[in-house]
Amino acid sequence: MPTSAPRPSVNHLLRPLSWLYGLGVGARNLLFDTGVLTETAFDLPVICVGNLAVGGTGKTPHADYLVRLLEDAGLRVALLSRGYKRSSHGWQLAGPRSTSADIGDEPLQIYRRHPRAIVAVDADRRHGIRRLLAMTPRPDCIVLDDAFQHRYVRAGLNILLTDYHRLFVGDALLPAGRLREPASGRRRAQIVVVTKCPARLSAVECAALRRRLRLEPGQHLFFTAMRYGTPYPLFPDEVRAGTGAATEKTSATTVFTSTTIGKTSTTIENPVAAIEKTGTTTGNPDAATGGTGTAPAVSPSAPDALLAVSGIAHPEPFVRYAHTLCPRATTLAYPDHHAFSHGDLVHIDRAFAALEGRRRVVLTTEKDAARLLHAPGLTPAVRAALYVQPIEVEFLHGGEEKFNDIIYRYVRSYPRNR
């Protein structure tokens, strides 16, 4: 049975440029494979999360899953990223005052969700790992975010992600397609995860996808979907205090529904009520949910109007979800990793002011929230109505237990982690 996963679109006019690009990538990989360029191994577990293509495949939610999994096992976890689109240079360690300009939006997103984890950025991953190992106490394990092509570090476990809607098979190298390196690079991975799958992906289609991906013997294949969690206020103090004109029309009884893409899951209760009960840590999802992902029940009431603001690679699922929360949702979409300017914030404020109804909400992604958190010029009305929509990874067909076991066994294979 053929899989219903769409096939990537390729610009065949650009194939000659892709061939030239492929020569360079192939030569580089050959130099690593033959030992001319050397890979450095380290004496602690290093887990690499990456992909073969440019664009969003869900790396950050999967890295977030790993950090939470390892922290829950009692390990001191470090996440190292290059910090894409940051304005700083070299090694940077995340702290309470870090901004997206300091460390990048995705590392800041991880740090805000896991303040006990060590989050650092360094384009030179070897140097970054050495800095982590010099810390006291040193981490028990390291998660490398988006480092599959950074072969100067030899990760002990490579997790390769591929988007269900654009698998690496059938795609082409840049610029005709979106591959950073040939699909043969998949052989370096011990685990392959097909991300952003339909929630009701059948076992028959999973088997068809396995055949289509042509994995090597011993490679593990998993399928994940994205589950929308509890929306929480980015500025809880202002929501609770009723700051700004937005609270004249925004009720504190707004209820959002958590869904896995394609099917309804559980009802999420009022995040504002949870803030009042559990704390006021600015922009911290655990402050809105008490660290459990749920909150006290309140009377059900959906937003009368909603403005969905995003600057991510593929905003379509987020926009569709916003319309399930409020059919009258209005959307503003910006480029991926967009740095919000003063003009953008004025545009957002005007779009919010144009909404009608008592309960008006601005909804954004966690990645965008990392940039909006310190954006100068957000009006009190928008700040008081601004909610963040987290997403979480959900393994399909019972794959979570096996995936977790592989991670645990790898990490525990190092004596200091037993």
pLDDT score for 4: 65
Residue 98 to residues 6, 25, 405, Cα–Cα distance (Å): 40, 35, 34
| Cβ atoms within 10 Å of 211's Cβ, excluding its own | 10
Of 5-14, 216-225, 356-365, least confident by mean pLDDT is 5-14
In this structure, are residues 83 and 190 in contact, taking their beta carbons and an 8 Å threshold? no
Reported confidence tier of residue 245, pLDDT bands at 50, 70, 90: very low
Arithmetic mean of pLDDT, 8-28: 95
The full DSSP string for 311-334 is: -SS--HHHHHHHHHH-TT-EEEE-
pLDDT digits (tens, 9 = 90+) for 126-185: 999 999 999 999 999 999 999 999 999 999 999 999 999 999 998 999 999 999 999 999
Cα–Cα distance between 229 and 292 in angstroms, integer?
Answer: 11
Structure tokens, 212: 């289509």
pLDDT digits (tens, 9 = 90+) for 52-78: 999 889 999 999 999 999 999 999 999
Counting every residue written for the chain, the total comes to: 418
pLDDT at 286 over 70: no
In this structure, are residues 153 and 122 in contact, taking their beta carbons and an 8 Å threshold? no
Say what percent of the chain tops pLDDT 90.
78
What's at 39, amino acid-wise?
A: E
pLDDT at 266 over 50: no
In this structure, are residues 180 and 174 in contact, taking their beta carbons and an 8 Å threshold? yes
Domains, the chain, in order of start with CATH, read 12-226+395-417 (3.40.50.300), 230-389 (no CATH)
Cα–Cα distance between 14 and 217 in angstroms, integer?
Answer: 34
Contacts of 34 (CB under 8 A, 6+ apart): none
Structure tokens, 27: 């030569």
Element (H, E) at 193: strand 191-195
Cα–Cα distance between 190 and 290 in angstroms, integer?
Answer: 36
pLDDT score for 417: 72
Pairing outcome for strands 118-121 and 92-93: antiparallel
CA nearest 226: which of 348, 367, 115? 367
Average pLDDT score over the chain: 86
pLDDT digits (tens, 9 = 90+) for 188-205: 999 999 999 999 999 999
DSSP state of 407: H
